[in-house]
Amino acid sequence: MAIKYIDQADFKDKKVIARFDFNVPLSGAPLTIDDTTRIDLAIPTIRKILTGGAKKLVMMSHLGRPKAGKDKRFSLEPVASYLAERLHEEILLTESATDSAIKTMLGLSTNRIILLENLRFHPQEKANDPEFARTLASYADIYVNDAFGTCHRKHASTYGINTYFPQDAYGGMLLAREVTALAKVVERPQMPLVAILGGAKVQDKIKIIEKLLPIVSQLLIGGAMAYPFLKAQGYTVGKSLCDDGDVKLAKGILMDTTARKISLPTDHLVATSIHGDAVSITEKNIPDDMMGLDIGEVTVANYVNLISKAKTVLWNGPMGLFEKPCFAHGSMEIAKAMAHASDAFTLVGGGDSVSAVKRSGKGDLISHISTGGGASLEYIEDGELPGIQALKFGINE
């Protein structure tokens, strides 16, 4: 069964509850939003529901990782203010997601938009509690999920709630864009397909490596992920991040015939510690007193060349300790190479690679920047996500 998106929904005079990902970074006093991207990307779906004639729109999201109970630092108040400004409409922020006043708010003829306070103030959200899901569902006739970034989680607002909308659950416009983009990589990629994986842990990405190797033309590995592979091949990695368990996993991957598609760094930028000055090492071995912190110039040139020949490119995970400018070169060059691969479909997922792309100033030239790092990886691994599957079929648990 195919997912139903909101262009198939009739919102006229209906009450709609919609799950968004308003999990934005906040700082300062009073708290302000540092990056509004996630809210901005939800606007098209919000507008579509409102222009479709919905009587009420109840929006819900989590923000941060609060402990149970209300905590001002994780309030959705700044989100409510920002949305009111963007939409030119008043937004009623509830005391809590289960506040008894919500029933009254739903009866008011003056306000159309209600924002439930942070769902994670209730431990029942993460526990996928059926009673909590039922309460959320009781606010509306139609359910919309546009929170792609949380669809890999079986939470009440993304998963359990679907039970109560067997006919009236829809994917939002952002969800549609994410799923379409991922399908272009996983289901029907234009070849050659080049995947670039970086970041810190093989363990977290082992399943995606195994899933990608049979379908990619090349798998380029960088970041701290490269060292367990190099060590598994017998090279020295000095003080680089390199877990024995990861070396074992890397050995296993390298034994498979598909491992010929893996490219590893042939040179590095290293330092004596993460605070040290960058030194260039022109061979694979890293001296005992040094740690690898970025891919080297020759590796960059090799990876850029392979990306330039690709028709589909997927990138997840930085090529080094890119938070420090002296170790950001590899990640910046990958971002630029993807931006310049104008014939290719290019997809970036994962918080760190997304910020590397943004820092490179080339974000506009990437075909799709995913809002869900973890969700996009799980989608690639499993070809499905619980939140999306539940939208298609409802659930019976």
What does 217-251 look like in DSSP terms, one character per residue? SEEEE-GGGHHHHHHHTT--BTTSS--HHHHHHHH
**Closer CB to ligand AMP, 66 or 198, in the complex:** 198
Cβ 246 vs Cβ 201: under 8 Å: yes
323 binds ligand AMP (CB under 6 A): yes
Cα 341 to chain centroid, rounded: 22
Query: How far is residue 34's CA from residue 128's CA, in Å, rounded to a whole number?
Result: 30
Annotated catalytic residue within 15, 64, 336, 351: 351
Cβ 51 vs Cβ 179: under 8 Å: no
Q: How far is the CB of 126 from ligand AMP (least distance, A)?
A: 21
374 assigned to active site: yes
Interacting positions 236-255 with ligand AMP (CB under 6 A): 241
Out of 265, 320, 349, 386, which residue is the one contacting ligand AMP (CB under 6 A)? 320
**Closer CB to ligand AMP, 106 or 200, in the complex:** 200
The residue type of 343 is: D
Tell me how far apart the 2 most distant CA atoms of the chain are, in Å: 71
Q: How far is the CB of 321 from ligand AMP (least distance, A)?
A: 4
Query: How far is residue 72's CA from residue 233's CA, in Å, rounded to a whole number?
Result: 51
**Closer CB to ligand AMP, 273 or 305, in the complex:** 273
Cβ 181 vs Cβ 370: under 8 Å: yes
What does 120-180 look like in DSSP terms, one character per residue? GGSHHHHTT-HHHHHHHHTT-SEEEE--GGGTTS--TTTTGGGGG-SS-EEE-HHHHHHHH
**Closer CB to ligand AMP, 223 or 228, in the complex:** 223
Number of residues that bind ligand AMP (CB under 6 A): 18
Out of 43, 200, 281, 298, which residue is the one contacting ligand AMP (CB under 6 A)? 200
Question: Of the listed pieces 2-10, 150-158, 256-264, 319-327, which binds ligand AMP according to CB under 6 A?
Answer: 319-327
Cα 353 to chain centroid, rounded: 10
Query: How far is residue 121's CA from residue 116's CA, in Å, rounded to a whole number?
Result: 11
Q: How far is the CB of 300 from ligand AMP (least distance, A)?
A: 14
Q: Which residue is nearest to ligand AMP (CB)?
A: 199
Out of 172, 228, 265, 318, which residue is the one contacting ligand AMP (CB under 6 A)? 318
**Closer CB to ligand AMP, 241 or 369, in the complex:** 241
Q: How far is the CB of 16 from ligand AMP (least distance, A)?
A: 35
Question: Of the listed pieces 125-133, 200-208, 250-258, 354-362, which binds ligand AMP according to CB under 6 A?
Answer: 200-208
Q: How far is the CB of 21 from ligand AMP (least distance, A)?
A: 18
349 binds ligand AMP (CB under 6 A): no
Which residues, at least 6 apart from 38, have a Cβ–Cβ distance to it below 8 Å?
Answer: 20, 21, 22, 23, 24, 149, 371
Out of 232, 321, 339, 395, which residue is the one contacting ligand AMP (CB under 6 A)? 321
| Nearest residue to 21 (alpha-carbon basis) of 348, 314, 315, 351 | 351
Cβ 160 vs Cβ 397: under 8 Å: yes
List phi, psi (to 5°) of 385.
-135, 145
Annotated catalytic residue within 52, 64, 363, 374: 374
296 binds ligand AMP (CB under 6 A): no
Which residues here bind ligand AMP, judged by CB under 6 A? 198-201, 204, 223-224, 241, 292-293, 317-318, 320-323, 350, 352
The residues that are catalytic are 38, 201, 351, 374
